[in-house]
Amino acid sequence: MSPRRIVLRAYNVGFGDCFLLTFHYSGSQRRVLIDFGSTAPPAGAPADHMRRIARDIAAGGRLHAVVMTHRHRDHISGFGTGTGKIIASLAPEVIIQPWTEDPAAAPDGLSAGGACTQGEEDILNRSAVRCLLEMGRKGRAIYVHGGSPSGLEELLPGVDVFVLGPPTLEQSAAIRRERLRDPAEFWQFRAFWESRAGAAQSADLFPHAPRYAPDTAPANLRWFLGRARRIRNRQAKEFVRALDHVLNNTSVILLFRIGDFSLLFPGDAQIENWSWSLGQKRYRELLRGVNVYKVGHHGSFNATPRSLWNLFAHRTGKEDEPGRLLSVLSTRSGRHGSERAHTEVPRRTLVEMLQRESNLFCTQSLPKSQLYREFEFTLAGEAR
């Protein structure tokens, strides 16, 4: 049994991601929700905009699986509070998250799961994280990494689902950092002074000042040291928040393939995340055949590596070419980055390339009264 058609619904959440995939079989359907979050609703949207989206998702009936690509608010805020209850009421069977979210994971500085056991009050987007954990307890929680089973094998007959990321630290330690510059991969470099930030941080600011042991310091200095220790201890508990600097590199990357037709959902994965799958011939071949590309990280300059874009065999400058690549971009301009620094989101040079070599749809092109744009694909892979 294989699906006869696939419907992709791209919700306009403003600055965030929310995608609903419906696989239509003979006499039945299976629905997979990929992310549900926003940090800024569409301009002019009503106050209950996210609730309206949650209700629209619920109107379609049973939700079979939820994919949380990573823990940033613009991808999971909708799973918190009231809207999260609406999604949870749909009783998804499988909840897919990156391996870093596993509550049993060790507190290695990248594992949100380990952090849960050490101080839940310091976890970003706590209510959404709790909702996802609870859905996973009631259904089946799957924590994935590059090359692992997706957990969707039984739910989606006739569909091959490949997990292309994130790699574990054993597979690639590169995800611990995000590079500031990459002329070969990024659509724009960061300003030079940013690459110099922190160069002098290790210098001794007061090399000739007297030094005291804590118990022999003067009274006024002991007061200061006590305050400094309390600040340091508080900051040490905040290490989970600091993970947001690399959470994009823990994004789940899923590739759905039905016959010769495939859809790619990379969350906010950046080059350090991509490097593992791009380094393997098997996955490069899979990526060549992508027909639908969910544009990474809302169109930022560093989340669609040029080496990935150049792999796509269905990109073409011919607008009327049958089977031309479809790119779907969920974003809201003016929220992040700077045009002057060439870091605006979405990045102009990337958008121009997407327009030139693919059929580009952007959620912010929708009128504020329209919740989503829907694409329907037959087995031939043509969108309607």
A 10 A CB-CB count for 150 gives: 22
Strands (E), the chain: 5-11, 15-25, 28-40, 65-67, 94-98, 140-144, 160-165, 253-258, 261-265, 292-294, 326-329, 359-362, 372-378
Segment 88-96 shows an average pLDDT of 97
Distance CA(243)–CA(3), nearest Å, equals: 39
Higher pLDDT, 74 or 221: 74
Residue 81: half-sphere exposure toward Cβ, Cα within 13 Å = 7
Phi/psi at 345 (5° precision): -115, 120
- In the β-sheet with 372-378, what is the strand arrangement from edge to edge? 140-144, 94-98, 65-67, 28-40, 15-25, 5-11, 372-378
172 within 8 A of 284, measured Cβ to Cβ: no
Those residues whose C-beta lies under 8 Å from the C-beta of residue 273, and which sit 6 or more positions away, are 165, 166, 167, 175, 248, 249, 250, 251, 253
pLDDT digits (tens, 9 = 90+) for 254-268: 999 999 999 999 999
How far apart, in Å, do the first and last CA atoms of the chain sit?
A: 23
Helix (H) or strand (E) holding 51: helix 49-59
Distance CA(207)–CA(105), nearest Å, equals: 42
Segment 359-367 shows an average pLDDT of 96
Q: Is the pLDDT reported for residue 117 higher than 50?
A: no
pTM of the model: 0.81
Q: What percent of the chain has pLDDT over 70?
A: 79
**pLDDT band of 206, cuts 50, 70, 90:** low
Segment 169-177 shows an average pLDDT of 80
What string of DSSP letters covers 249-263? GG--EEEEEETTEEE
**pLDDT band of 123, cuts 50, 70, 90:** low
276 within 8 A of 173, measured Cβ to Cβ: no
Residue 215: half-sphere exposure toward Cβ, Cα within 13 Å = 0
pLDDT of 122 reads 44
**Beta-bridge mates of residue 161:** 256
Higher pLDDT, 244 or 129: 129
pLDDT of 179 reads 67
Tokens found for residue 46 = 């009503």
SS3 readout for 309-351: HCCCCCCCCCCCCCCCCEEEECCCCCCCCCCCCCCCCCCHHHH
Q: How far is CA 112 from the centre of its chain?
A: 15
The 3-state DSSP class for residue 204 equals coil
Q: What is the dihedral of CA 45, 82, 89, 123, to 10 degrees?
A: 110
Q: Is the pLDDT reported for residue 338 higher than 70?
A: yes
pLDDT of 207 reads 61
**pLDDT band of 238, cuts 50, 70, 90:** very low
Q: Which residue has the tokens 């990280």?
A: 297
Q: Report the mean per-residue pLDDT for the chain.
A: 84
pLDDT of 186 reads 66
88 within 8 A of 54, measured Cβ to Cβ: no
pLDDT digits (tens, 9 = 90+) for 276-293: 999 999 999 999 999 999
Segment 162-177 shows an average pLDDT of 86
Higher pLDDT, 338 or 200: 338
pLDDT digits (tens, 9 = 90+) for 27-78: 999 999 999 999 999 989 999 999 999 999 999 999 999 999 999 999 999 9
Tokens found for residue 226 = 């006590």
For the chain, state the CA radius of gyration.
22
Q: Which residue has the tokens 């994965």?
A: 269
Higher pLDDT, 2 or 225: 2
Domain 5-186+242-378 in CATH 3.60.15.10? yes
